[in-house]
Amino acid sequence: MGKKLPNPRWTTIYGFMLPGILVYLFIVIVPLALSIHFSFYKWSGGLSKDFIGFHNYSQLLQDAKFWFSFRNNMIITLLSIIGQLGIAFVLAVILQAKWVKLRELHRTVLFLPVVLPAVVVGFIWNLIYSQNYGILNSLLKGLHLADWIRPWLDDPKIVIYSVTIPIIWQWIGLYLIIFMASIQSIPGEIYEGAEIDGATGFKKVIYITLPMMYDTLRVAIMLCIAGNMKIFDNIFVMTGGGPGNSSTVMAQYAYNTSFGKFQLGYGSAISIGMIVLSLGLILLSRRLMGGRSLES
Amino acid sequence: MNRKIAVAGVKSAANVLIAVFSLVSIFPILWVMYSSLKNQQEFSFNILSLPKSLHFDNYVTAFWDGKLYLYLWNSAFVSAISVVLTILIGFVSGYFLSRFSFRGRNVVYTMFLFGMLVPVYGLLVPLFIEYRNLHLLDHRLFLVLPEVTFALPLVIFLIESFMKSVPIEMEEAAYVDGANTVSTLFRIVFPICRPVLSTCIIISFLNIWNEFPFALILINSQELKTIPVGLTNFVGQYTINYPQLMAGINVSILPVIIVYLCLSKRIIQGMVAGAVKG
């Protein structure tokens, strides 16, 4: 291509782009600026508002509950990277084989949870975990493993894992499809060459498929981090962050502080902290895995 | 001979593994679907069995007494307006970003991409404060704005990358013939973009229909709530009656499932393209 249309007037271009830019300013940029502003105040939403400088931020740095919720985000992220990407990779490799039966059906079924609202996924898993009427416990009973039965969502020690499983369950399909597309784009000649050299199925996966998918894996890991830093809906409906704050994630903590205790100033500081931490992690992971842009 | 048996073994093991995962993905959804037709006694007697008689009254209760019809209507209202606006704004912005190089283009482009990257939940509190100060809380029309904003980046990106594959000759000819920008945009470019636009419509609809946190904090009145938020109310009221609860869940996801089953190929392609970009 390379050809470009003659530019219309500057005012025409911005005239057309204006609605998009305005709605963006109003919904993203102005609130961000506002929350930076309010984060310097002690404010519970009323008329009185005390300027307290960086006090909210120094409180945030020492706030054990905030860092605990960040730790929960990190646990969920790590488990998701292992669970979602690991399972999705294995399934993608298998689904690539021509001899697998009902490939189309599997693909459609495995992707279905992705389109469900996270709230509904939370409710469905509440039912699965339910003490007396849940699939999980009746399955364990059926397998004569009744002593494995736990109060899945009420035991502070395991609740964080219980809320992670639905997240993994919901998103495997997305990574599966991403990986399948990536595997399909690996040229067949590479495999043929390897076969002549005597590589078998498993070796082909380790020495060809995995390295050729490096870029995709990188993108997938970043997606996983970005997605889990903002996890909220399903935990909100499953446990509300409880029991205590054992399954509280950052977004839930910001929500509780702002709308439960109505500390809007501190809630703003938490929001800013959350954005900084998430963007920081995303950029860091991008650095660590090689700096090329995503657009390749 | 041994090798052949081993290969056959690996193949069937792989088939079984895939089948197990598919079952794990679909069974909870199916379970909720068929259990919603039982009554409470039948359900507590055996939670896994298929219903013996069909109790559609659970749906009647969920729909009318549980007020789900109201929430569905609100969601339909918000989604319809949001999708139209998202498509219009996204199409125009995506077109200009892909066709012209102008001053500030990269700033605008980065701003839109930032919207895909920024954890939207960090904006909950700030947006609530802004809306409260401007007295915009509790209006369905103003809930549309954040929905549009967070659906926009994907649409802009899909349009922009689609336009790269469209030759400019037709637009060039139109301009030479003296057509103005609006008629070129909507008479010539819009029809060309139809396939990608339909993908955009479906995916924006799904995202907006499913959106929870903004609908949760920006709307207070019971009668203005959208379905994901309304569903949490409903569940709060019917915690003991599981089949009833499941009927409610089904009502809320039925539109999503129907759209998905009809258009799964499009949805999968579009969501993957958008995800990889973000």
Which chain A residues touch B246 with a CB distance below 8 Å?
127
- A81 pLDDT exceeds 70? yes
**Is the C-alpha dihedral spanning A157, A158, A161, A162 positive or negative?**
negative
| Residue ranges of chain B with per-residue pLDDT less than 50 | none
Tell me what ipTM this predicted complex has: 0.89
Q: What span, in angstroms and rounded, lies between the C-alpha atoms of B76 and B79? A: 5
Question: Are the C-beta atoms of B274 and A226 separated by less than 8 Å?
Answer: no
Whether the bond into A151 is cis, omega within 30 of 0: no
Q: Which of A145, A156, A129, A172 is nearest to A243 (CA)?
A: A156
Provide the pLDDT for residue A207.
Answer: 80
Q: What span, in angstroms and rounded, lies between the C-alpha atoms of A254 and A77? A: 19
**Alpha-helix runs per DSSP H in A116-255:** 118-129, 135-142, 159-184, 188-196, 201-204, 210-212, 214-229, 233-238, 250-255
Query: Beta partners for A42?
Result: A50
Provide the pLDDT for residue A294.
Answer: 45
Q: What span, in angstroms and rounded, lies between the C-alpha atoms of A289 and A266? A: 34
pLDDT tens per residue, range A53-75: 888 899 899 999 999 999 999 99
Interface list for A 139-168 with B (CB within 8 A): none
Instruction: Determine contact: A13 vs chain B, CB below 8 A.
Output: yes
Question: Are the C-beta atoms of A88 and A133 separated by less than 8 Å?
Answer: no
Question: Are the C-beta atoms of A5 and B100 separated by less than 8 Å?
Answer: yes
Instruction: Determine contact: B89 vs chain A, CB below 8 A.
Output: yes
Instruction: Return the structure tokens found at A164.
Output: 């992670």
Interface list for B 201-240 with A (CB within 8 A): 206, 209-210, 212-213, 217, 228, 231-232, 235
Q: Which residue has the higher pLDDT, A116 or A9?
A: A116
Highest mean pLDDT among A120-129, A148-157, B267-276: A120-129
Q: Which residue has the higher pLDDT, A287 or B88?
A: B88
Q: What span, in angstroms and rounded, lies between the C-alpha atoms of B219 and A223? A: 30
Instruction: Return the structure tokens found at A82.
Output: 């292992």
Place of tokens 């494995």: A148
Which chain A residues touch B92 with a CB distance below 8 Å?
16-17, 19-20
Instruction: Determine contact: A30 vs chain B, CB below 8 A.
Output: yes
Whether the bond into A211 is cis, omega within 30 of 0: no
Q: What span, in angstroms and rounded, lies between the C-alpha atoms of A239 and A237? A: 6
pLDDT tens per residue, range A186-212: 887 888 788 787 777 777 788 888 888
Q: What span, in angstroms and rounded, lies between the C-alpha atoms of B245 and B31? A: 13
Query: Beta partners for A43?
Result: A49
Burial class, A164, CB count within 10 angstroms (exposed 0-12 / middle 13-18 / buried 19+): buried
Place of tokens 């446990």: A239
Do the Cβ atoms of A31 and B108 come within 8 Å?
A: no
- A292 pLDDT exceeds 70? no
Question: Are the C-beta atoms of A264 and A44 separated by less than 8 Å?
Answer: yes
Q: Which of B181, B95, B106, B185 is nearest to A11 (CA)?
A: B181
